[in-house]
Amino acid sequence: MHYMPGTLLREAVLAEEFGLSRTPIRQVIKKLEFEGLVVSQNGVGTLVTDIELEGLSDIYEMRLKAAELIGVMNPVRCGQKHLNQLIKLRRQTDELENIEELARINHELHNLITSLIGNQALRIVYDQYYFQTTRVWYRLIPDLWQQEVTALQTEIDELIVAARRNDVTAIGFVKRNFIARVLFLIQQNTQPQHI
């Protein structure tokens, strides 16, 4: 389920949507609050946060470092299965129609990479950073549609090359560079807006 930043969530509404009471809904919301994705305000509601620029680049920089560590920290062996899935994802990028599909492929790619991380602690933060940063990417895409599709295709191509020789370190660095690319885009696009 995707909610745009600034959306005001109401526990009672969500509870009815999911057919539960407010209690378990609140649990999930609290978890999201710990992760910095939403903010609950007494008497108001639960606000989907719109990460401020400084905090965002902090997270992005850590995400870069995390990606660099993927191949270093006891990675899982990259096998034929991973390669096949990469090829399948690459093929799917040839017939992309809308943002939801692009996001879905990006998400599956993320899960694939995550499954290569051997260090449990690294896996958790890598996953967390993904969810914290991907929302901004969401907002950025509409203007850069074709450019982003091409970038994703290039990225997967490079990942396939690395996967063919079981080089998880290279996979980590490919990810790192494409994360750096998005960070650059964001810094370019957001600064004129805010300042």
| Residue ranges binding its own copies (CB under 8 A) | 27, 30-31, 34, 55, 58-59, 61-62, 65, 69, 73, 119-122, 125, 129
Residues 33-72 interacting with DNA (rule: CB under 7 A): 40-46
Answer yes or no whether residue 9 interacts with DNA by CB under 7 A. Answer: yes
| Binding at 43: pick from DNA, its own copies, none (beta carbon under 5-8 Å per type) | DNA
| Binding at 188: pick from DNA, its own copies, none (beta carbon under 5-8 Å per type) | none
Answer yes or no whether residue 26 interacts with DNA by CB under 7 A. Answer: yes
Answer yes or no whether residue 27 interacts with DNA by CB under 7 A. Answer: yes
- Distances 85 to 45, 78, 150, 160 between C-alpha atoms, Å: 41, 11, 19, 10
Pairing state between β 38-41 and 45-48: antiparallel
Decide if 74 contacts 118 (C-beta within 8 A).
yes
- Distances 60 to 47, 162, 178 between C-alpha atoms, Å: 22, 23, 11
Strands (E), the chain: 8-9, 38-41, 45-48
Cα Rg for the chain, rounded, in angstroms?
Answer: 18
By beta-carbon proximity to DNA, the closer residue of 42 and 193 is 42
- Tell which one of 3, 4, 24, 124 touches DNA (CB under 7 A): 24
Q: Minimum distance between the CB of residue 93 and DNA, rounded to whole angstroms? A: 38
Answer yes or no whether residue 191 interacts with DNA by CB under 7 A. Answer: no
Decide if 186 contacts 136 (C-beta within 8 A).
yes
By beta-carbon proximity to its own copies, the closer residue of 48 and 125 is 125
Decide if 188 contacts 147 (C-beta within 8 A).
no
Q: Which of the stretches 12-20, 63-71, 83-91, 111-119 binds DNA when contact is defined by CB under 7 A?
A: 12-20
Q: Report the alpha-carbon distance of residue 177 to residue 1 in Å, rounded.
A: 28
Closest CA to 39 of 55, 27, 50: 50
By beta-carbon proximity to DNA, the closer residue of 49 and 93 is 49
Q: Minimum distance between the CB of residue 5 and DNA, rounded to whole angstroms? A: 16
Q: What residue ranges bind DNA (CB under 7 A)?
A: 9-13, 20-24, 26-27, 40-46
